[in-house]
Amino acid sequence: MTHPAAALYHDTLARTDAPELAETLFEQMRARGLTFGDRVVCSVLRPHFISERDYHFVQDAAVTILGAIARLGEAVIEDEGLRAKIGLTPEEEAIIALPFGYSYPDASARLDSFFVGQDSLYFIEYNAESPGGLAFGEGLGELFSQFPVMQAVARTYPYRLLPIRKRILDTLLECFYQWGGRRQPNIAIIDWREVRTYNEFLMCQEAFEAAGYPTRIGDPRDLEYTNGRLRLGDFEIDLVYKRVVTGELLQREGLNSPLVRAAADGAVCLVNSFRSHLLLKKALFALLSDPQYRSLYTPAQQAALAEHIPWTRLVAPGFTDYDGQRVDLLEFAAQRRDQLVLKPSGEYGGKGVVLGWEVGAAGWETALHEALTGSYVVQERVPVPRENFPVLLDGEIVHAARYLDLDPYAWQGTQAYGCGVRLSGGALLNVSAGGGSAVPMFILKD
């Protein structure tokens, strides 16, 4: 599915002083704060190209899947027996029960997918906890659009970029006014001070303040909640862009965190809500995939789930359905190592993921045994696309194969707008796991 524009881009790059351009590109990334910790967020020398037609195909499929996730989320909240399958701790049960005051708990989210072609699109995870990297993608798009090679290619293939930071701000404000806000809010971006996405917070702060909204960046440990107001020092907060992951907040601060208490009292608008933590659980993909829960979804959603969600089950003793056959789940999983992935339900960033085809039989047996002691899912392997990207190696430009995913951004639980794109030399694609690369998405006009 490599777009023809990529070949033109590579040919144009070969006729330039590519190593010098590469060094300039990396210098500009550092100058603009496009770094993840101490490394630039993009290690390759071209964007990802997608046609307008393919972008809309992915977008439409994502919207239908989001509708199914919304229906499932409501059912899980209402049905205690269904919720028990998710494996929530008592603290998690308490925090997802807090009111949030706007339409959908997952106001800003990301569906992780692999798009091989219009007959092969698979959504494998849902990052519902205000995912990172959105502003990085926009910044990379602006930088690559100034790259002489891209300007030359654009004369043959006109493109468009999507303003993601504006969409983040618009979503935050829409939630704030649904919540009951009546004035121009003071905004706080909250996450641990040591996270490697801090530069992205600076990019968002710049955009928010340029639009007229006072914004501060703070650590949950620096928050104070007194007299009905949440504060960072003397800065009173009305609206929180919550980037801290709920599970980590519970581990470090517990339910007595000032952020949790302020949200529980309705003293601050928190986006995303704590309830989005429920939708982050990969166990939900077992409920999306399993035909015994088909009645939860509309006919259109059922068709989309069958087409775009890989077979996924909770790891537990018992029987289940696979391709119309009744199978013993653990026996089936033990025999199909080369076709399966194990994932902890509540983790993110690739933590704890075991790719069956990359471990030996003994390693897989051990992983299955450990999965039985916690909340895990087993998911069928799906095709992962690969493309050649130019990279700088020992002062020379070479073309190296990279796996890539295409991850639609979700808004207000119902809309898809923009995509993140990640590359990796291995089948586990996650920039935060180390070694991966983000690239901007250029939508090429048909």
Q: What is the mean pLDDT of residues 7-22?
A: 92
| Residue-level pLDDT at 118 | 73
What pLDDT does residue 434 have? 44
DSSP letters for 249-303? HHHHTGGG-HHHHHHHTT-SEEES-TTHHHHH-THHHHHHH-GGGGGGS-HHHHH
Asked whether residue 432 carries a pLDDT value surpassing 80, the answer given is no
Residue 21: what pLDDT? Answer: 87
**To which residue do tokens 């928050």 refer?**
223
Res. 49 pLDDT band, cuts 50 70 90: very high
- Cα separation, 181 vs 307, whole angstroms: 41
Residue 121 backbone dihedrals phi, psi, to 5 degrees? -135, 120
Q: Give pLDDT, residue 433.
A: 45
Q: How confident is the model at residue 31 (pLDDT cuts 50, 70, 90)?
A: very high
State pTM to two decimals.
Answer: 0.94
Rg (CA), the chain: 22
| Percent of the residues in the chain that have a pLDDT greater than 70, as a whole number | 98
Q: What is the dihedral of CA 347, 348, 351, 353, to 10 degrees?
A: 80
CATH 3.30.1490 fits 311-379, yes or no: yes
Percent of the chain with pLDDT over 90: 89
pLDDT digits (tens, 9 = 90+) for 158-193: 999 999 999 999 999 999 999 999 999 999 999 999
Q: In this predicted model, what pLDDT tens digit does every residue of 338-350 receive, in sequence order?
A: 999 999 998 777 7
pLDDT score of 395:
86
Burial class (CB in 10 A: 0-12, 13-18, 19+), 152: middle
In 3-state terms, the chain is what percent helix, strand and coil (to 5)?
40, 25, 30
Distance CA 219, CA 212 (A): 23
Secondary structure class of 402 (helix, strand, coil): strand
Handedness of CA 356, 251, 285, 441 (dihedral sign): negative
Token pair 């144009």 in the structure block, residue: 12
Find out if CATH 3.40.50.1760 is the number for domain 4-280+391-444: yes
Tens of pLDDT, residues 94-107: 999 999 999 999 99
Determine contact, residues 380/340, Cβ cutoff 8 Å. Answer: yes
Bridge partners of 392, per DSSP, are: 397
| pLDDT, mean of residues 425-430 | 63
From the list 34, 250, 4, 7, the residue with the least C-alpha distance to 142 is 34
At 431 the pLDDT is 42
Q: Does the pLDDT of residue 24 top 70, yes or no? A: yes
Q: What is the pLDDT of residue 1?
A: 66
Confidence check: pLDDT of 429 > 70: no
Integer CA distances (angstroms), 280 to 55, 106, 110, 381, 411, in order: 24, 9, 10, 20, 15
- With 0-12 / 13-18 / 19 or more C-beta atoms within 10 angstroms meaning exposed / middle / buried, residue 162 is middle
Give dist(CA 412, CA 108) in Å, integer. Answer: 6
Where exactly are the structural domains of the chain?
Answer: 4-280+391-444, 311-379
What average pLDDT score do residues 417-430 get?
82
Q: Could you tell me which residues come within 8 angstroms of residue 156 by beta carbon, excluding any fewer than 6 positions away?
A: 5, 8
Block residue for tokens 């330039």:
16
Looking at residue 255, the DSSP 8-state letter turns out to be G
